[in-house]
Amino acid sequence: MKIFTLRRIVFILAFILFIIVVRHIYVSFFVKVKTECAKLTQFDEFVDAKALIVRNEKALSNENSFLKVTCGHNSKVAGGQCLARVYSSENELQSDNNSNSSFNFANEDINFEINRLIRKLSHQQKYDKKLDYLVNIHEKILQNDKNLKLSNSFSENKSSNSGFGKLKSDCSGFFSSCSDGFENLGLNISDDEIKSLNIRDYERLNDSVSNVFGKLVEGSKCNIICFLDKSVDLDKKRFSIKFQLNSNLIECDLVKILDSNNGGKIAVFEAEMNEFLINSRVENVKIRTQSATGVKIKRSNIHDYKGQRGVFTLERKILKFKPVKINYENDEFAICDLGGSEGGLKINDLIVIDGDHLYDEKILMS
């Protein structure tokens, strides 16, 4: 009886061992794995914000209605440069410029000014007769009326009796034919003033200044004040900001972060002036908080193997373990650098994304 029981136990143990060996052979040689091709990816992470752009600038106005702007829209100006010529009467303006109106803009600025006036009309339901004039001029330009072209340079040999004066720039910077009435903000705005800002107050044009024909922006820097959720964490000094109406990323330096009076955060960035920033005031923006280039891999497909983090790749039915350098990772995926060495990860490598009992140099027969 005891011998019979011992034989039964040996038989059962042998059978179990046989099953384990067969399963191991099957898994090792016949179980398939799923793979995906390694592709180079540019990953960017953004946070949304409302932005208020402030500059050192001032509105340019003149009580005399008859003037002729001598600078192109968004053009650079030097200190002492003539911005506009002023006439004492419309007859003098017409005589000098062969024009039938006191509104004068360079041809390349017509579209911009028309769009600005349409925006003003939509916000304030306020009609501006300048719009009719510009549309008429635009139509004539399309008909190749060369007489409508406005020169940016004027002869200094005019007679002293010509009856016009000059408005000159008192600093170097940029001239713009647009003004929204908020030129008094300036870069010297205090932290307390920034904290109490209500960005909605600046979303519409302000017509408080009369007889404005443009503005002068001093210097080459501006500040982008971004209103953020309190949970947003900005942990570096250099950022890129993307504007809704401008496809180009603008490089900025983070100057300071303040707690707003309404419980959120306010980030103040400094940027170099460009044509878009000269006239922008309130914009929807995206702040790039993370950026990485590499191969995007799910976290579940990155393995800890013999003290290294890496992925398994399939090469001619043989599994290869390749360590990876992670440039960025979150709970879902990682952006891994391409390996420079011979055993590193490369473009078009077949990364194993599903499989059991993975180890280096494993041979797959299926």
Beta bridge partners of 296: 335
Q: What is d(CA 289, CA 309) in angstroms, rounded to the nearest whole number?
A: 25
Tell me what the pLDDT averaged over the chain comes to: 79
Give the per-residue pLDDT at 87. 77
Q: What is the pLDDT of residues 273-311, one digit of tens each?
A: 988 899 899 999 999 999 999 999 999 999 999 999 999
Give the per-residue pLDDT at 267. 96
Domain range 45-52+220-291, CATH class: mainly beta
Least confident of 28-32, 208-212, 298-302, 312-316: 28-32
pTM of the model: 0.68
Is the per-residue pLDDT at 146 higher than 50? no
Is the per-residue pLDDT at 241 higher than 90? yes
Q: What is d(CA 57, CA 209) in angstroms, rounded to the nearest whole number?
A: 14
Is the per-residue pLDDT at 207 higher than 80? no
Angle at 312 between CA 308 and CA 318, to 5 degrees: 125
Give the per-residue pLDDT at 132. 63
Query: With bands split at pLDDT 50, 70 and 90, how would you rate the model's confidence at 272?
Result: very high
CA 32, 37, 42, 45: dihedral to nearest 10 degrees? -20
Range(s) within the chain of domains with CATH label 2.40.30.170: 45-52+220-291
Is the per-residue pLDDT at 65 higher than 70? no
Query: With bands split at pLDDT 50, 70 and 90, how would you rate the model's confidence at 316?
Result: confident
In Å, how far are 105, 144, 208, 277 from 217, measured between CA atoms? 18, 33, 19, 11
Q: Check: CB of residue 271 under 8 Å from CB of residue 250.
A: yes
Q: What is the pLDDT of residues 161-206, one digit of tens each?
A: 345 678 888 899 999 988 888 998 999 999 999 999 999 899 887 7
Give the per-residue pLDDT at 96. 63
In Å, how far are 27, 255, 344 from 338, measured between CA atoms? 30, 34, 7
Q: What is the 3-state secondary structure (H, E, C) of 310-324?
A: EEEEEECCEEEEEEC
